[in-house]
Amino acid sequence: MNKVAVVGVHQTRFDEHWDKSLRDLAREASLGAISDAGLDNSDIKSLYVGNMSGGRFVGQEHIAALIADHAGMNPIPAVRCEAACASGALAFREAYLAVASGKYDIVMALGVEKMTDLKTQDVITSLMGAGDQEWEASIGLTFAGLYALMARAHMNKFGTTQEQLALVSVNNHKNAVGSPFAQFPFEITVKDVLASPIIADPLHLLDCSPISDGASAVILVTEKLAKTFAKPAWVLASEQATDTLALHDRKSLVEMLSTKIAAKKAYDEAGIQPKNIDVLEVHDCFSINEILCIEDLGFCEKGKGGAFVEAGKISKNGEIPVNTTGGLKAGGHPVGATGIRQIADLVKMIRGECYNRLSVNNGLALNIGGSGATANINILGRELKV
């Protein structure tokens, strides 16, 4: 496999964009990434678009061709990639494989979602398409309900507390302060989280990521081309794994097998261990998921994630900084765009160009689809070897 680097990134603000359409957001992100790389539209050889549910959210299918057209990239091949909330990271992985295989030398991976055009209940129903319709959605379960089951199981087995869950949101909101892209760039307290309405016991409103609009794009190139750019960020590993779609078919409710398998493959591919990772971007769609991610990625023992958070080990100055630009909770979660946004933020930190003033040698991004049926892990670094 050929070596691959990311040389251009851009994202829109994640927010409620009442004045922008899906195509507007995608165009802004794609042209921004092209400009950031110092390239032209005609340089892009192929486009991979992460989008979960454009048909349900805005009534638009055939999204990849629409974006290629609207961003002035016709007649290149354009492919839509779907893996629920992991659609963005899947698009990135497919773009990576296209370059690593030698098929293309310059490609774009873009993620986009326009969610706020529907009523909240309709969004919840659409998102449940990522779960098992026959065994979960049909009996009224939502994703908040699924993750609440996982949270309660973790609390019962390991003594994890609601305060520890709340601290995940507190940390991520603190990290979002000053962000030009975050939906909620302000601090909250544990008291705020626990006083917010219960959505699915034990998860409160402020344990949950928001409904968002937004897009993000990155440009990947071959090793030969990457060496002509000032600050390439190298793809050290890109791995994916799956698990059962339905939660009740899992061996355990307190771990994500897909994450553990993808992590092992990614660490082996990159020749790296968790202790060598400088920064994490993980999928905090609900606060319990950030704790599960930290455990299943190997940064603490199973069951110790709550205490790990409570000890401040995920803060920007902690043992392993996590979601240092706000994560899904404070940064926003336009589902198809999140995986690409995670990559873009890692690239900016590797370049030393992120608003959070972190400058790192490498970072890991974990994008989860559904309740863990898909896990995509990408590791990026400043150098080709750690």
pLDDT of residue 385: 76
Q: Which of 224, 216, 230 is nearest to 37 (CA)?
A: 230
Assigned token pair, 100: 């690593």
Assigned token pair, 14: 């994640």
Q: Apex CA 248: angle with CA 82 and CA 375, to 5°?
A: 35
Is residue 36 a contact partner of residue 8, using CB atoms and an 8 Å limit?
Answer: yes
Rg (CA), the chain: 19
pLDDT of residue 259: 98
List the beta bridge partners of residue 368: 375
Within a 10 A sphere around the Cβ of 49, how many other Cβ atoms?
A: 32
Tell me how far apart the alpha carbons of residues 19 and 60 are, in angstroms, rounded to a whole number. 17
pLDDT of residue 386: 65
Assigned token pair, 18: 């009442």
Is residue 27 a contact partner of residue 67, using CB atoms and an 8 Å limit?
Answer: yes
The one-letter code for the residue type at 122 is D
Assigned token pair, 203: 């998860």
Angle, helix 22-37 to helix 63-70, in steps of 10 degrees: 60
Tell me how far apart the alpha carbons of residues 196 and 198 are, in angstroms, rounded to a whole number. 7
Q: Could you tell me where the beta strands, DSSP code E, fall in 297-384?
A: 362-369, 374-381
Q: Which sequence positions are flagged as catalytic? A: 85, 333
Alpha helix positions (H), 101-161: 120-127, 143-158
pLDDT of residue 357: 93
Burial environment of residue 262 by CB neighbours within 10 A (0 to 12, 13 to 18, 19 or more):
buried
**H helices, E strands: number in the chain:** 14, 11
| Average pLDDT for runs of 10 along the chain of length 386 | 96 97 98 98 97 95 97 97 98 98 98 95 92 92 96 98 98 98 98 98 98 98 96 98 96 97 98 97 98 98 98 97 98 98 98 95 98 97 85
Angle, helix 287-296 to helix 257-270, in steps of 10 degrees: 50
Tell me how far apart the alpha carbons of residues 212 and 332 are, in angstroms, rounded to a whole number. 6
pLDDT of residue 313: 98
Is residue 98 a contact partner of residue 349, using CB atoms and an 8 Å limit?
Answer: no
Domains of the chain by start residue, with CATH: 4-119+211-226 (3.40.47.10), 139-210+236-381 (3.40.47.10)
